[in-house]
Chains A and B, each alone.
Chain A
Amino acid sequence: MTTDQPTTLMADRAGSRRDIAARPVLEVDQVTKVYPSQPPVTALRGVSFTMTEGELVAIVGPSGSGKTTLLHLMGSLDQPTTGDIRITGLDVAAMGDRELAAVRATRIGFVFQQFFLAEHQNVLDNVADGLLYAGVSLAERRAQALGALELVGLDGRPHARPTQLSGGQRQRVAIARALVGRPAIVLADEPTGNLDQTTGASILALFEDLHDHGVTIVVITHDQAIADRLPRRIEMLDGRIVADTQTVPISAIAVASGLEGAESHFAQGQQS
């Protein structure tokens, strides 16, 4: 494993997704997390799983099941109490603030339920901010942002303000911001939580589309129906993984971009 990211998100991976040896991008090994409150709260009780490059995984569970805590740890926003987490092979448990921040800047893209877009900036600069802390010049950030906007189908309105966009479009901007740094893994926390059902479905379809292009994505959700659409589902309850099921890989034909493709995917997933 090297620190270099694939130079192109699309071309390198699209054709070869199913051929590459499964390289682990995220290894969670016997992780526990105890919050030192009175009384101490144990949020995770020995969680282990591995994600390989190009996977699209749902982490699903009810409130309090520990999925948000797991998101914090996967995103290197927090440290586990015990256990190891390796992101692209890097042991984050041994890292200090500066290194953790660098991991987030270069390896991880976040998508939030509330979008968190800066209203005083246009769409392009919001996306470009995804590279702000990676040491990239403004011109280069903007150039890459344009590419990321293309991925989410918003390249037509780079100079619009977030306030001029619909909820679905805003979430696409946020997804583009997560993608702009070509992260090893995209973490989406309830990405459809603030959206209506149709818009939410289109966001899921976008994830599936990105998945087809080889992007590694984790969707954290409490919604079983959303989880059921995704190829792999890690179900959590009370700080433990209670199920880790994988849909049989479907043929490439069934996965077309857009809602229609997503639905056929969904149907096959149900049958397996």
Chain B
Amino acid sequence: MTATATVKARKLRLSDLGRLSAVGLRTRKLRAGLSALGIAIGVAAIVAVLGLSQSSSAGLRNEISALGTNFLTVTNGQSITGGTAELPKTAPAMIARIGPVTAVQATGNLNSVDVYRSPLIPTIDTNALAVQAATLGLLHTIGATIAHGRYLNAATANEPVAVLGAAAAQRLGIDRVYQGERIWLDIQWFYVTGILNPATLAPAIDNSVLVGYPAAEHYVGFDGHPSTIYVRANTDEVAAVDSVLAATANPENPSEVNVSQPSAALVAQADAQSAFDDLFLGLGAVALLVGAVGVANIMVISVLERRSEIGLRRALGATKGHIRIQFLSEAVLLALLGGAVGVGLGVASTAVYAETKGWTVVVPVLAWGGGFGAALLIGAVAGLLPALRAARMSPTEALWTV
């Protein structure tokens, strides 16, 4: 009889391969869990780092866009001799005449005036608080809101009345407004009528005590020169307004005027926040690498322990390829399991942290996709050597040597 007929090895069905790759996980649950944990930690670190940095800058950007990007500030710069330059008293009115400008408000620094909780406080304990004369429409223009009480109005602007910035209120130990609440400003009592929320676009307001222009002139000797002018312009024409602001504010010495766009600075800040991300990403990568070594180690041990299973499978008709793909897919499954848990942990921690900070939860596709991809790659790489060893094992040795 001659060998006319041939036989061909069959491919494993995908469902069978899936079942086979889970054998090691099902029979050694604790071990599989621990080795997947290494990968989970690495992936979680990477996902959380990327998610948190994205969420935090998304939070900042949201705030910025809510406050508006059409906001410009004009401050007094330095004179050519190095002293502090003064903005002309007419500057706000002149700026208001620029076509696209929609709102102009000003504050004036009362440089020599300090403010205290009471006259009993030593004069050197100024708490680094500034006293500023403020115009009445300031809050709306800078996008700030009032936390307690009320802002200055046409009546109170003439009286010894003050409104506290968020930080100023904290430093003075005043957290709410009640009748008769007062502070010692320069040489007399001023009554507190309101406390502001933090002003993101105009942080200088936060540690300031604001008084009305007439009151400042009348009680503290304010000369009426503005030190900061807050400007809102049509969004499309911000750049054009920006270019003429200095010359408009101080036509004599435009170079002594500083013009800035706070929202642009904040965007830059949001971008710069990711500086530490690289460090944490590196740590995550190291954790992943350690996890990969763990998976490889477990797979090598598993191959040694499962000699008789390998031998039996060969006797049942498995080709070397069948054995190889079984162990390779087991390693990949192990790593993917770790990856899935890691992505879950990373997203959960991002969500929890972002929630406490009031940020939008943003987990970029790069983070979870990359986490999964890294896990897949690691499983394949870590499983390759053990799978090759398993496939190379001679079936007779695997079956007849214990």
- Residues of A participating in the B interface, judged by any CB pair closer than 8 Å: 1-3, 24, 27, 68, 72, 75, 77-78, 86, 88-91, 94, 97-99, 101-107, 110, 112, 114, 116, 118-120, 129-130, 132-135, 137-138, 177, 181
Contact = CB atoms under 8 A, between A and B. Distances in A.
A99 B7 CA distance: 6
Contacts of B2: 89, 91
B315 A75 contact: yes
B24 to A, nearest CB: 10
Given A89-B1, A98-B319, A110-B315, A134 B7 contact: no
A78 B396 contact: yes
B3 A3 contact: no
B321 interface: yes
B180 to A, nearest CB: 79
Contacts of A112: 312, 399
B9 A105 contact: yes
Interface string B1-30: 111111111111101100000010011000
Contacts, number: 117
A120 B26 contact: yes
Contact of A133 (B311, B316, B394, B400): B316
Which of B9, B317, B400 is the most central at the interface, judged by chain A CB atoms within 10 Å of its CB?
B317
A110 B312 CA distance: 9
A104 B315 contact: yes
Interface string B361-402: 000000000000000000000000000000000111001100
A119 B328 CA distance: 22
Contacts of B15: 138
B232 interface: no
B7 A3 contact: yes
Contacts of B321: 98
A10 to B, nearest CB: 22
A107 B6 CA distance: 12
Contacts of A103: 7, 317
Contact of B396 (A77, A133, A135): A77
Given A106-B317, A138-B15, A91 B9 contact: no
24 contacts: A1-B4, A77-B315, A78-B394, A78-B395, A86-B3, A89-B1, A90-B3, A91-B3, A98-B8, A99-B9, A101-B317, A101-B319, A102-B319, A105-B318, A106-B7, A112-B312, A120-B26, A120-B27, A129-B316, A132-B12, A132-B313, A133-B12, A133-B317, A135-B13
